[in-house]
Structure 1
Amino acid sequence: MSTEQDQIEAPPPRMANSRPAWVTDELIERWCAWVHQEGAREGRPAPGAVTALAPYDLSPLPPVPACDPRDVAAAAATATEARHTWAHTPIGRRAAIVLAFHDLLLRRQDEVLDLIQWETGKARYHAWQEVAQVAAIARHYARRARRYLAPRRVRGMVPGLTKVREVRVPRGLVGIVSPWNYPLYLGVGDVLPALLAGNGVVSKADSQTALTLLWTRELMAQAGLPAGLWRIVAGDGEVVGSAVVDAADYVCFTGSTATGRTVAERAARRLVGCSLELGGKNPLIVRADADVTAAAAGTVVAAFANTGQMCIHIERVYVHERVYDAFRDELVHLTGKLRLAPTYDYSADVGSLLSAAQLAAVEDHVGDAVAKGATALAGGRPRPDIGPLFYAPTVLEGVTDAMAVCRAETFGPVVSLYPFASDDEAVSLANQGSYGLSASIWSRDTRTADRMARRIHCGSVNINDGAAAAAGSIEAGMGGMRDSGLGRRHGAEGILKYTESQTVAAQRLMPLGPPPGAVESFVRRTNGQLALLRRMRVR
């Protein structure tokens, strides 16, 4: 039986080598010099190089030097030493460096777009979204860091005699472990506020996307960032990533829920803080009064952007039974029009999956669902004719709890449809499962949608948008509830989490407490004062 997916245009000729022509061996060697390695390795075996495959054609990516725990310890020591001077650098100077980086990033964005595509296989527009997001983060925190970090005057114990300020002090060394799916946004977007808050940083580069992060580190150096302040290590996640967690005064981790639990346990044993953005199985609700055409178009974007390989992408779509058929038909039609191609221009709507493991996971979920009775209305199959790791954007119908795709995170271009009869049922369905990262509601009645949003247990709810509205609003926090994580990036918390709150209280004229031998009278007078303050409605 044919589907709308058959309408996808014939693919371009397969590329012989996906490596961008401008990326020379000399450039790669220069970028790799930013991987922190100790010069002497006497008595310890070399860990070897990190190697990966380019998703477009499975050609080898350049090897990146691998680190071991002693390299991580040395990187941590270097960044810690550098941050002592940095913490006393005026905030205006720190902000100027971040803004210089912003300008360089936009001026040279084609370079990093090529690197992101080469390492991840994503479509170019989705690579550009990373640039746009990092630029917005850089501008926001460069302009607002002074206000976020400013000392706060508070009322003292004895008004007039006790002067109290709450100040923010850097945590010290921030360890950042970021994933492959957004190597620029997730790799750098958390580094910028950590640096602006006065910290040193050690980042663990993902083995698949190290070049993107190393290119960015060089750009930060060109913007004026001190050499030792932000150090990058690479290598096995279990070994090197664990060493970063063990060395840091605060940990920022983005990745799977399973690994996030391990990171939280390691941090808790050392009594250091952490923020975790983890997995999601994000719902989208189409109410009976929704603009069906707009909702279908928004679902396509939210489900298939970045080939479905993002924590906030939509995997579950709940549609009111009165508009279910119309929405389903429009969604299938629009999905069938998506263009897939391994190209370094903006002609492709959807790119490749990252790896053979990702492809196998998607095939397993879809195959299991179809074998148990679900129907693939669009897609449902790999596209080796386009590239070795391409998979057709897929719409499933008839999914049940017995199918893995119903509850487990697929992390690929797959969306499942479910009908519902009432708003209460839709909210109940959206809250099923253990995740709570992002959600979407489509309705012409935005007041009702807003009330529904407050009943959904997740960190962000988008009304008449799939996912980007909340994620792109940098002044608002972004993060998960339940198994989707702890803490927030963006907004005030996105920089304050990299600091400690310190109270500085100065007492004038006399010390607090009773004079010698007059404790009882002091207590009576103080009680009278407390009663008076109560009658005067003073705090």
Structure 2
Amino acid sequence: MFGEIREATDLSTATHTSKTPAARELPRALPADVADRLAKRAVAGGSPSVEVHAPATGAKIVDLPQSSVADVEAAFATARVAQQEWAARPIAERTAVFKRFHDLLLTEQSDILDILQTETGKSRPHAFDEISDVAVNSRYYTRIAKSVLDTHGRRGALPLLTQASEVRRPKGIVAVISPWNYPLALSASDALPAIIAGNAVISRPDNQTALTALWANELAERAGLPAGVWQIVLGRGATIGSELIARADYVDYTGSTAVGRSIGEQAAARLIGCSLELGGKNPMLVLDDADIDKTADGAVRACFASAGQLCESIERIYVHTDVYDRFVAAFVERVEKIRLGANLAFDSDMGSLTFERQLTSITAHVEDARAKGATVLAGGRPRPDLGAYFYEPTVLTGVTRDLDVFAEETFGPVVSIYRATSDDDAIAQANDSDYGLNASVWSRSVSRGRSVAARLNAGSVNVNEGFIAAWGSVDASSGGLGDSGSGRRHGKIGILKYTDTQTIAVQHLLPIAPLPGMSDETWAKTMTLAFRTMRLIGLK
């Protein structure tokens, strides 16, 4: 559909140390009819609207309508009706929709890659990571849903006499509040298990990347999802965020720690559940037996995916002093070869930042570090010759505790390297953080790597990979410790969190009470003997 854009787009790519002409023609963002069509899918009255621009080029993408409180109320009213009808369908019918969704996604990926790149400014390889994420989650949850959501028999209070079963019931309406940095993965991959579980979903994506979520929503309906089951409202969190939480039966949020705390408080006040994946200052540990070339390659992937605008991204590297010089040289060599650009093609390694505020905060971190004595080994400057928000992948050493970049999340293409004298020293430094989302350990010895990993305060730890090994293992749960959040996505818990449990117990023949004519004392003695007997024969 969007092939003409790729031919019209000519945003130069280059290594981050090279120069390109400052004067260039800004490419079109997206066909206006496509952007307008998607924008009209939102439950929004249309006034006021927000003008959205492509971060890599400055070109206008769309005038995005904004949802009012009345729009939010209307979306929930529609969702209540649609959810009842959807939940009544057999699980096999619900999963069939997302099997088709999976296939359509892969077939039409070129279209969404164009939208993703245009809205975020990220490179095409990093945009494809989101395709992979949604495809993997679609396959996983359509495969396990029936076994996980079906009614399961449980042991009753008294063997043979009590028959117990556990029923999974959908929460009702789930609010998915997703950020701008991974707009496909963090909207669709969180919505689809909730929907498969029988819920309706109302999503509130960031305005900057709303078209991506709207495209996924359109694709789901083309795959057979009934209208009203998944709706999208638009607006700033400060305007409609509380309105969503006030009406939802469960809240799924990915974003900053500060906002996550507020959402947690609002959800707790209503006694509804929430899942919060928040910030990170993720460490990587390079042990003295690590394969330096493989580790340096892995560090590039771990630090600079989506220009470091990733909660799982590595921002701190602790290197054993025996291999420190070799690792730093190998890493810097690779960083200096990273190609910057945002063409709608697979010809760059790292794209643009998404917002001016990201550029400002990243620049402030690096300049504070430089002014206080840190050394910039690579990068360390914006690239306005490529686009307004490009910033070079940056490597720092000599970072001390008084620097802003030491403990604060940078959320950009900046990593600091530190020496470690032993495994214990590296672990202690890595754990010196309020965050606990992701970590990485590199060693030739898998057993040693596992041992170190088990001592790190992080919800996920990768051995000989940066973040994608744990993140991509969707049969295992993913989430943070400490200021990195609470709750989990992925794994069985990633769909069960969107359900409530109902226990149905049926008593046969005899009551769980004294028999007629039996005293309470005799009943107690009889049950005591029964408990001892069950313990001896192994009955639970």
Normalising by the smaller structure, the TM-score range is over 0.9
Corresponding residue of 1:296: 296
Measure the CA separation in 1 of the matches of 2:57 and 2:270: 43
CA deviation vs aligned residue, 1:367-416 (integer Å, no higher than 9, x gap): 00000000100001111111111001000010000000000000000000
Aligned AA (1:527): T
Measure the CA separation in 2 of the matches of 1:342 and 1:6: 13
After TM superposition, the score normalised by the length of structure 2 is 0.95
Aligned AA (2:230): W
Corresponding residue of 2:521: 520
Deviates more, 1:507-516 or 1:164-173: 507-516
Establish whether residue 500 from structure 1 lines up as the match of residue 500 from structure 2.
Answer: yes
CA deviation vs aligned residue, 1:435-479 (integer Å, no higher than 9, x gap): 000000000111011011111111100000011100011111111
Structure 1 vs Structure 2: percent identity of aligned residues? 47
Measure the CA separation in 1 of the matches of 2:132 and 2:290: 30
- Specify whether residues 259 and 7 from structure 1 end up closer, same or farther in structure 2 by C-alpha distance, changes over 3 A only: closer
Measure the CA separation in 1 of the matches of 2:318 and 2:23: 38
Measure the CA separation in 2 of the matches of 1:169 and 1:15: 56
Aligned AA (1:31): L
Corresponding residue of 1:510: 510
CA deviation vs aligned residue, 1:107-149 (integer Å, no higher than 9, x gap): 1111100001110000000001101110111111111111121
- Specify whether residues 185 and 7 from structure 1 end up closer, same or farther in structure 2 by C-alpha distance, changes over 3 A only: closer
Tell me the SS of whatever aligns to 1:274. strand
Measure the CA separation in 2 of the matches of 1:60 and 1:27: 13
Question: 2:289–2:443: 8 Å Cα contact kept in structure 1?
Answer: yes
Task: Return the offset for 1:487.
Answer: 1.1
Measure the CA separation in 2 of the matches of 1:145 and 1:7: 46
Establish whether residue 194 from structure 1 lines up as the match of residue 194 from structure 2.
Answer: yes
Measure the CA separation in 2 of the matches of 1:18 and 1:480: 39
Task: Return the offset for 1:80.
Answer: 1.5
Measure the CA separation in 1 of the matches of 2:97 and 2:23: 42
Tell me the SS of whatever aligns to 1:299. helix
Question: 2:35–2:61: 8 Å Cα contact kept in structure 1?
Answer: no
Question: 1:52–1:61: 8 Å Cα contact kept in structure 2?
Answer: yes
Deviates more, 1:240-249 or 1:219-228: 240-249
Measure the CA separation in 1 of the matches of 2:301 and 2:511: 64
Tell me the SS of whatever aligns to 2:502. strand
- Specify whether residues 157 and 6 from structure 1 end up closer, same or farther in structure 2 by C-alpha distance, changes over 3 A only: closer
Measure the CA separation in 2 of the matches of 1:335 and 1:187: 31
Measure the CA separation in 1 of the matches of 2:27 and 2:477: 37
Tell me the SS of whatever aligns to 1:488. coil
Aligned AA (1:156): G
CA deviation vs aligned residue, 1:292-317 (integer Å, no higher than 9, x gap): 11111110110011000000000000
Question: 1:8–1:338: 8 Å Cα contact kept in structure 2?
Answer: no
Measure the CA separation in 2 of the matches of 1:114 and 1:169: 38
Corresponding residue of 1:50: 50
Question: 1:352–1:389: 8 Å Cα contact kept in structure 2?
Answer: yes
- Specify whether residues 531 and 6 from structure 1 end up closer, same or farther in structure 2 by C-alpha distance, changes over 3 A only: closer
Corresponding residue of 2:482: 482
CA deviation vs aligned residue, 1:184-242 (integer Å, no higher than 9, x gap): 00011001000000001100021100111111111111111100111100011111122
Measure the CA separation in 2 of the matches of 1:79 and 1:384: 45
Question: 1:285–1:318: 8 Å Cα contact kept in structure 2?
Answer: yes
Measure the CA separation in 1 of the matches of 2:270 and 2:445: 49
Establish whether residue 529 from structure 1 lines up as the match of residue 533 from structure 2.
Answer: no
CA deviation vs aligned residue, 1:167-189 (integer Å, no higher than 9, x gap): 11100000000000000000110
Task: Return the offset for 1:274.
Answer: 0.3
Question: 1:15–1:57: 8 Å Cα contact kept in structure 2?
Answer: no
Measure the CA separation in 2 of the matches of 1:64 and 1:481: 36
Corresponding residue of 1:104: 104
Task: Return the offset for 1:47.
Answer: 5.0
Measure the CA separation in 1 of the matches of 2:516 and 2:269: 45
Task: Return the offset for 1:6.
Answer: 7.5
Task: Return the offset for 1:428.
Answer: 0.7
Question: 1:14–1:386: 8 Å Cα contact kept in structure 2?
Answer: no
Measure the CA separation in 2 of the matches of 1:105 and 1:83: 24
Establish whether residue 373 from structure 1 lines up as the match of residue 395 from structure 2.
Answer: no
CA deviation vs aligned residue, 1:69-117 (integer Å, no higher than 9, x gap): 2211211111121010111101111111101111111111111000011
Task: Return the offset for 1:246.
Answer: 1.5
Corresponding residue of 2:166: 166
Tell me the SS of whatever aligns to 1:195. helix
Measure the CA separation in 1 of the matches of 2:144 and 2:60: 42
Task: Return the offset for 1:60.
Answer: 2.6
Measure the CA separation in 2 of the matches of 1:7 and 1:149: 50
Establish whether residue 16 from structure 1 lines up as the match of residue 17 from structure 2.
Answer: no
CA-based RMSD: 1.5
Selected match of 2:33 from 8, 26, 43? 26
Selected match of 1:36 from 26, 43, 46? 43
Tell me the SS of whatever aligns to 1:190. helix
- Specify whether residues 14 and 244 from structure 1 end up closer, same or farther in structure 2 by C-alpha distance, changes over 3 A only: farther
Tell me the SS of whatever aligns to 1:163. strand
Task: Return the offset for 1:268.
Answer: 0.2
Task: Return the offset for 1:10.
Answer: 4.3
Corresponding residue of 1:283: 283
Corresponding residue of 1:264: 264
Corresponding residue of 1:43: none
Corresponding residue of 2:250: 250
Corresponding residue of 2:5: none
CA deviation vs aligned residue, 1:223-281 (integer Å, no higher than 9, x gap): 11100111100011111122112211000000000000000000000000000000000
Aligned length: 526
Measure the CA separation in 1 of the matches of 2:372 and 2:25: 39
Measure the CA separation in 2 of the matches of 1:139 and 1:10: 44
Measure the CA separation in 2 of the matches of 1:281 and 1:197: 33
- Specify whether residues 343 and 12 from structure 1 end up closer, same or farther in structure 2 by C-alpha distance, changes over 3 A only: farther
Question: 1:50–1:234: 8 Å Cα contact kept in structure 2?
Answer: no
Tell me the SS of whatever aligns to 2:204. strand
- Specify whether residues 148 and 14 from structure 1 end up closer, same or farther in structure 2 by C-alpha distance, changes over 3 A only: farther
Corresponding residue of 1:41: none
Measure the CA separation in 2 of the matches of 1:120 and 1:263: 25
Tell me the SS of whatever aligns to 2:84. helix
After TM superposition, the score normalised by the length of structure 1 is 0.95
Measure the CA separation in 2 of the matches of 1:37 and 1:95: 29
Measure the CA separation in 1 of the matches of 2:476 and 2:366: 35
Deviates more, 1:514-523 or 1:241-250: 514-523
Measure the CA separation in 1 of the matches of 2:514 and 2:51: 70
Measure the CA separation in 2 of the matches of 1:12 and 1:200: 50
Measure the CA separation in 1 of the matches of 2:526 and 2:271: 42
Structure 1 segment 219-230 matched on structure 2, within 5 A: 219-230=219-230
Aligned AA (1:142): T
Structure 1 segment 337-486 matched on structure 2, within 5 A: 337-486=337-486
Task: Return the offset for 1:516.
Answer: 4.9
Tell me the SS of whatever aligns to 2:53. coil
Question: 2:298–2:465: 8 Å Cα contact kept in structure 1?
Answer: yes
Tell me the SS of whatever aligns to 2:154. strand
Task: Return the offset for 1:514.
Answer: 1.3
Measure the CA separation in 2 of the matches of 1:504 and 1:75: 33
Aligned AA (1:451): S
CA deviation vs aligned residue, 1:13-57 (integer Å, no higher than 9, x gap): 76533434xx4333223212211136xxxxxxx751122321112
- Specify whether residues 14 and 338 from structure 1 end up closer, same or farther in structure 2 by C-alpha distance, changes over 3 A only: farther
